[in-house]
Structure 1
Amino acid sequence: MSAPVIVLIVIVVIVVILLLWFVGMYNGLVRLRNLVQEAWRQIDVELNRRHDLIPNLVESVKGYAAHERGVFDEVARARAAAAAPGSGPAEQAQQENQLTQALGRLFAVAEAYPVLRASENFQQLQAELTNTEDRIAAGRRFYNANVRTLNTKVESFPSNIVAGMFQFERAEYFEAEDPQVRQAPTVSF
């Protein structure tokens, strides 16, 4: 073989390797972006379940503590804000924090009514809410791990070149301002 043919083969091999690297990097970024979106949808499902449980919980408490109107209104406002569509993870986290604080006040009201605390319906709703809170926390950990991986790829060289070419952007974390705020409300009877 002549020297020009060898040089041409080497150039073709280098171009093919670079093209395969480029395609692999792009596909990896797409996979990570889809994982982040899937993880967020799972959190959204659990948040919707939480939002659906709250009216039943409020009605259960209302039957025993009808004069606590301010607490019920606060929970309703916080639930409406948290259930509103179209917010990103950071804004959703802030709205969920406010809802959790309102639920804490609702549970504080419930503590003053022993008959309510003994109610099977109230106990079942409280257990379902706690279970949902646990699933939200697990989903948040999974989501944030995927966000971390995606953000690392978007910011790291050389994958940041591919990310920049195709407008891959950093994803927002879903985190509470106060770690205790995101814990399931606890009520001791």
Structure 2
Amino acid sequence: MHRPFVPVAAVLALSLAGCGVNSVPTAEENAKARWADVQNEYQRRADLIPNLVATVKAAGAQEKAILVEVTQARASASQVRVSPDQLGDPAQVAQFARAQGAVTMSLQRLQEAYPELRSQGNYTTLMSQLEGAENRITIARRDYNQAVQDYNTRIRTFPDAIGARIFYGAKPLTPFEAVTPGAETAPIVNFGNAS
């Protein structure tokens, strides 16, 4: 009886393929790419804010304190960065989320303070762009959290957990969570026209 010759390298390659040698770094890179998307959307919002502030200033200076607050929140948020290597640190991700939450809150106060600007075209357009930016941020955070969940599941389940531990020393990544107090509750915006 003749046994077919199976090269040792082929058996080794098959066994390594089943241990997450390729899938673990692929999942990790996907999570890091989704994090870059989150940062990109926050940057897009930060880039829109100076235009919004300029538009509001042109309409009047009655709420200068809020404009200063928006500008300061944007500046503070721009200072907080989380590199892909820091995604395993919940404190770093939470600090980033807090800084971005401060921008969101100041934008909400700005929106509430300027009901008369709603009818102005530039203001309305910019607010629409900011709303779109907020929606894109939400989608980017959701996509990032899904990628983190996929990666964290992969590094904890058999057979990929073997390769994750042996070859990469893989550690779980931190999902994005709302850390702003009250962030789980939608804000109530009143433009002064409620009955």
Q: TM-score scaled to structure 1, two decimals?
A: 0.80
Unaligned runs of 5+ in 1: none
Match of 2:59, SS? coil
Aligned residues of 2:66 and 2:110 also touching (Cα < 8 A): yes
Greater alpha carbon shift after TM alignment, 16-25 vs 162-171 = 16-25
Decide which of 107, 111, 131 is 1:107's aligned counterpart: 111
- 1:147 & 1:50 partners in 2: Cα distance? 23
State whether structure 2 residue 74 is matched by structure 1 residue 79.
Answer: yes
Identity %: 32
State whether structure 2 residue 151 is matched by structure 1 residue 147.
Answer: no
C-alpha distance 17-136 of structure 1, shift in aligned 2 (>3 A):
same
Aligned residues of 1:82 and 1:99 also touching (Cα < 8 A): yes
Unaligned runs of 5+ in 2: 83-91
Map residues 2-151 of structure 1 onto 2, 5 A cutoff: 16-17=10-11, 19-24=13-18, 25-84=20-79, 86-87=81-82, 88-111=92-115, 114=116, 116-151=117-152
Match of 1:168 in 2: 170
Aligned residues of 1:107 and 1:187 also touching (Cα < 8 A): no
- 1:154 & 1:110 partners in 2: Cα distance? 49
C-alpha distance 74-153 of structure 1, shift in aligned 2 (>3 A):
same
Greater alpha carbon shift after TM alignment, 69-78 vs 123-132 = 69-78
Structure number, greater radius of gyration: 1
Match of 1:171, SS? coil
State whether structure 2 residue 172 is matched by structure 1 residue 159.
Answer: no
Q: Which has the higher helix share?
A: 1
Letter matched to residue 79 of structure 1: R
- 2:189 & 2:62 partners in 1: Cα distance? 23
1:41: Cα distance to partner?
A: 1.4
- 2:178 & 2:109 partners in 1: Cα distance? 18
Equivalenced residue count is 177
Could you give the per-residue CA deviations for residues 101-125 of structure 1, whole angstroms, max 9, x where no partner exists?
A: 11111111112xx2x2211000000
Match of 1:172, SS? coil
- 1:143 & 1:186 partners in 2: Cα distance? 29
C-alpha distance 94-75 of structure 1, shift in aligned 2 (>3 A):
same
- 2:53 & 2:15 partners in 1: Cα distance? 56
Greater alpha carbon shift after TM alignment, 118-127 vs 53-62 = 53-62
Greater relative contact order (Cα < 8 A, sep 6+): 2
Q: TM-score scaled to structure 2, two decimals?
A: 0.78
1:23: Cα distance to partner?
A: 3.4
- 1:85 & 1:123 partners in 2: Cα distance? 29
Letter matched to residue 80 of structure 1: A
- 1:130 & 1:148 partners in 2: Cα distance? 27
After TM superposition, the runs of 4+ consecutive aligned structure 1 residues lying more than 4 A away are 185-189
Aligned residues of 1:90 and 1:172 also touching (Cα < 8 A): no
1:173: Cα distance to partner?
A: 0.9
Match of 1:26, SS? coil
Match of 1:41, SS? helix
